[in-house]
């Protein structure tokens, strides 16, 4: 479950392939066979995801990534039922004809462990079975983080956590620093909980020790953007050349009028375009780093 350096030999930004990198993003599906609660339509996330994957398959993407809270649990908090929900929604994700990556969210450990979640999902290659890891696509390094640890740095598991208190353990911060020092290529960071606690967003949706990670991102001078979930209404901020984009949760509001998914394009110059579908707004995020 520990992280690992899963990329090598990144290129300077000016040497990247002239073909843009394109990938799909979804987050906060909370899929479960249980009744609607407020604006959360748990059952409908399966059909919403099927629509998204159909769009992704038509679009010739390099990969897709889900940013956490892939599933939820039933009212009795039954682990077997929860694993069934996870298997069902993972099968929908795997309809994508390409690589599928996962980011762990707090609800992914609501009544099961990280190990169980990782055994029932399929990251590609050396990312398989890891809760934080990195990989490379078209000269861009992707760094996937896991903030699902308690204040004492014990891992979330079987609901032993307060979702408002999420931490990176020291070993993950050290790993992140090594990853950022290792190469010169542009990087994109993915995390479920928010890192931009400086943006004025509610502190309980942010990683409690986010500043430790953000300092490393800013010092590296090569991070283009941070992609986040967790905060279902979405958010955007920018500081010191890094864009922080929080995607709207797919679970919110009733299908078919509502859904939320996106295709992200990274141009050879590092500019990023988000093509949002349904409730997900489109956005352009220009590269201001001198990588």
Per DSSP, the residues of the chain read ---------PPPGGGS-SSPEEEEEE----B-SS--BTTB-TTTHHHHHHHHHHHHHHTT-SEEEE-S--B---TT--HHHHHHHHHHHHHHHTTSSSEEEE---GGGGSSSBHHHHHHTS---GGGTT-SSEEEEETTEEEEE----B-TT-PBPBTT-S-TT-----HHHHHHHHHHHHH--S-EEEEESSBS-GGGSS-GGGB-TTHHHHHHHHHHHS-EEEEEE-S-TT-EEEEETTEEEEEPPPTTBS-TTT--EEEEEEE-TTS-EEEEEEETSPPEEE------
pLDDT in tens, 158-193: 999 999 999 999 999 999 999 999 878 999 999 999
CA atoms within 13 A on the CB side of 242: 26
Q: Which of 170, 161, 168, 34 is nearest to 109 (CA)?
A: 161
Residue 257 domain-assigned?
yes
Question: Can you give the CATH number for the domain in which 277 is found?
Answer: 3.60.21.10
Residue 169 domain-assigned?
yes
Q: Which of 176, 186, 184 is nearest to 266 (CA)?
A: 186
Per-residue pLDDT band for 288 (boundaries 50, 70, 90) equals confident
Residues 6+ positions from 143 with CB-CB distance below 8 Å: 134, 176, 179, 180, 187, 188, 189, 190
Residue 290 domain-assigned?
no
Domain containing residue 173: 13-285
Q: Give the span between the Cα atoms of 246 and 226, in whole angstroms.
A: 8
Q: Which residue has the higher pLDDT, 58 or 16?
A: 58
Mean pLDDT of the chain: 94
Would you say the pTM of this structure is higher than 0.85? yes
Residue 1 domain-assigned?
no
pLDDT in tens, 251-282: 999 999 999 999 999 999 999 999 999 999 99
pLDDT at residue number 260:
98
pLDDT at residue number 97:
98
- Are β-strands 133-137 and 21-26 bridged in parallel, bridged antiparallel, or unpaired? unpaired
Residue 216 domain-assigned?
yes
pLDDT at residue number 174:
98
Say what percent of the chain tops pLDDT 90: 91
The answer to whether residue 16 scores a pLDDT higher than 60 is no
Other CB atoms within 10 Å distance of the CB of residue 194: 26
Residue 267 domain-assigned?
yes
Per-residue pLDDT band for 3 (boundaries 50, 70, 90) equals low
Residue 222 domain-assigned?
yes
Residue 243 domain-assigned?
yes
Domain count, the chain: 1
Per-residue pLDDT band for 291 (boundaries 50, 70, 90) equals very low
The answer to whether residue 82 scores a pLDDT higher than 90 is yes
């Amino acid at each position: 479950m520990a992280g690992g350096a899963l990329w090598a030999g990144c290129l300077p930004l000016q040497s990247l392939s002239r073909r843009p990198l394109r990938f799909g993003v979804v987050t906060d599906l909370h899929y479960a066979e249980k009744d609607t609660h407020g604006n959360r339509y748990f059952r409908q996330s399966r059909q919403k995801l099927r629509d998204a994957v159909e769009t992704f398959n038509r679009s010739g993407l390099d990969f897709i990534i889900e940013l956490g809270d892939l599933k939820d649990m039933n009212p009795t908090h039954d682990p077997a039922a929860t694993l069934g929900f996870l298997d069902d929604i993972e099968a929908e994700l795997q309809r994508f004809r390409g690589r599928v990556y996962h980011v762990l969210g707090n609800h992914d450990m609501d009544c099961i462990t990280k190990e169980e979640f990782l055994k029932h999902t399929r990251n590609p290659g050396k990312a398989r079975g890891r809760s934080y890891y990195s990989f490379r696509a078209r000269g861009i390094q992707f760094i996937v983080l896991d903030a699902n640890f308690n204040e004492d740095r014990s891992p979330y598991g079987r609901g032993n956590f307060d979702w408002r208190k999420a931490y990176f353990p020291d070993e993950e911060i050290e790993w992140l620093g090594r990853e950022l020092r290792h190469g010169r290529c542009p990087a994109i960071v993915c995390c479920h909980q928010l890192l931009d606690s400086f943006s004025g967003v509610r502190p309980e949706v942010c990683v409690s020790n986010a500043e430790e990670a953000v300092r490393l991102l800013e010092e590296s001078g090569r991070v283009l953007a941070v992609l986040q979930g967790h905060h279902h209404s979405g958010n955007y901020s920018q500081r010191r050349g890094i864009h922080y984009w929080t995607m709207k949760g797919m679970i919110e509001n009733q299908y078919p009028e509502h859904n939320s998914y996106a295709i992200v394009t990274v141009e050879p110059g590092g500019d990023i375009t988000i093509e949002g579908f349904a409730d997900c707004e489109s956005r352009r995020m220009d590269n201001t780093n001198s990588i």
